[in-house]
Amino acid sequence: MTDAPQLYLMTPAGAQASVLGPILTEVMDRFPTACLRIRGGAEEDELGRLADLAREIAHARDVAVVIDDHVKLALRHGLDGVHLTDGAKAVRFARKELGDDAIVGAFCGGSRHEGMNAAEAGADYVSFGPAGDSALYRNEPAELELFQWWSEMIEVPVVAEGALTRELINQLSPVSDFIAIGAEIWTQDDPQAALAQLWG
């Protein structure tokens, strides 16, 4: 565990490829990114276009691309894997479908138990959140202690996501492998400036 987590970027939910392309390119050129995650919320055709665009932009910069829950789209569009939004349930299925080399991540809310189940099922990373108060998530905020415990006890990388502020990122950085940022910047007029404020 290092003190400097990597940036894990999430696209806006329901984004359109034609609109997102130039902004995403600018953001990823300025901020080194470890992983790009395509959020759901669009029609399958649009998600397919988004997947092609994201893969093209990210792979040109040696960045892995995962997509929320859509195992078939990940396979069809040559993505690096999936991010499962319902915890450990589908980890084994996704691994079987996508193969050993694919990335399979699992969002586990604030549940240590769910995180451990996902890790045992073969998840490549576990995501906890929201880290701050957010109406976008069904869960209560994930406590800082959960990240501290996980980073000490479990080898599987951990991602912090949801309602992040600069202060929260500073607190979570020593105990997280990745910091996932999405809505925090896309809802702003200037996503690059917003990310610069959060990420520095």
pLDDT, tens only, 131-142: 999 877 777 899
In angstroms, rounded to a whole number, what is the distance separating the alpha carbons of residues 154 and 88? 16
Neighbours of 153 (CB within 10 A): 9
Model confidence at 21: pLDDT above 80: yes
Model confidence at 2: pLDDT above 70: no
Model confidence at 1: pLDDT above 80: no
State the residue for tokens 């406590």: 143
- Cα–Cα distances (Å) from 120 to 32, 37, 54, 125, 153, in that order, read 30, 23, 30, 11, 13
pLDDT at 137: 78
Domain regions of the chain by residue span: 6-199
Which residues make beta-bridge pairs with 81? Answer: 66, 103
pLDDT at 3: 66
From the number of C-beta atoms within 10 Å of its C-beta (0-12, 13-18, 19+), residue 104 rates as: buried
Structural fold of domain 6-199: TIM Barrel (3.20.20)
pTM over 0.85: yes
In angstroms, rounded to a whole number, what is the distance separating the alpha carbons of residues 79 and 180? 18
